[in-house]
A and B are shown apart, each in its own frame.
Chain A
Amino acid sequence: MALGTNPGGGTLGGTATVAAVAGVASFANLSIDKSGTGYTLTASATGPAAATSGAFNITPGTATQLVYTVQPTTTTAGATITPAVQVTARDGLGNTASGFTGP
């Protein structure tokens, strides 16, 4: 089992090679680390033609950290700091936690 379409630049985790039992292979612990829309998986084996799964999405996890994505810059006293300082909420894997609406 491998990633087919990889819209988020993710990596497939878990046990990606299993032995089929009575013709059926079950992949119980697959995961993907990067959020994205329209991932597919590709299954292959020696002999039969490969198959591609339907598309599915990986969504970001819960926000666990804040990261300065635009750092404050040296500025004259009383002037607006430009460019605007920007902070991004990220999940534990570094994905932007798009569901985070804080504060």
Chain B
Amino acid sequence: MQPTTTTAGATITPAVQVTARDAHGNTASGFTGTVAVAIGTNPGGGTLAGTATVTAVAGVANFATLSIDKPGTGYTLAVTAAGLTGATSGAFNITAGTATQLVFTVQPTTTTAGAAIAPAVQVTARDGLGNTAAGSRGP
């Protein structure tokens, strides 16, 4: 099961699933080794959280709690297991979460009475992880 586009910090669902195969493409149901997953391509500088090392059951490894904290387009996950050729997932995206906070990203500066405050005051909507909530159109 390939990873799907997910909100930053949310669990990637459905669970990412990796299957060990033999040289002929059959599920290697006798494989019960350890499988590790890590971020392959990392366009957003994200960090992978959750249980990233699992033991395969009947040749299948399930990663049910993976999440990535930074938005980006074109993440991939790379899986490795001792003695097997690794695999890279298809690309997927991480999107910013819902805006939960406003932050002054350009603060107001001391100004003459009646004059425009310059540079322009800027406020950015961010999700709970500090990512710019690009979907936010407020107020």
List chain A positions with a Cβ less than 8 A from chain B: 1, 10, 13-14, 17-35, 39, 41, 43-54, 56-61, 91-93, 95
Contacts and interface: CB of A to CB of B under 8 A. Distances in A.
A89 to B, nearest CB: 14
Contact of B108 (A41, A49, A92): A41
Nearest to A58: B113
Given A24-B132, A27-B122, A46-B139, A14 B116 contact: yes
A27 B109 CA distance: 13
Contact of B113 (A33, A45, A51): A33
Interface of B: 96, 98-117, 120-126, 132-139
A38 B111 CA distance: 12
Given A19-B137, A57-B110, 14 more contacts: A20-B123, A21-B137, A23-B125, A24-B123, A35-B113, A46-B139, A48-B125, A48-B138, A49-B102, A53-B104, A57-B111, A59-B110, A59-B112, A61-B113
A56 B113 contact: no
B93 to A, nearest CB: 16
A49 B128 CA distance: 10
Contacts of A39: 108
Main SS of chain A's interface residues? loop
Given A49-B100, A51-B101, A51-B103, A27 B123 contact: yes
B125 A45 contact: yes
Given A23-B135, A47-B136, A29 B101 contact: no
B109 to A, nearest CB: 6
Given A20-B136, A47-B98, A30 B122 contact: no
A53 B109 CA distance: 10
Nearest to A62: B112
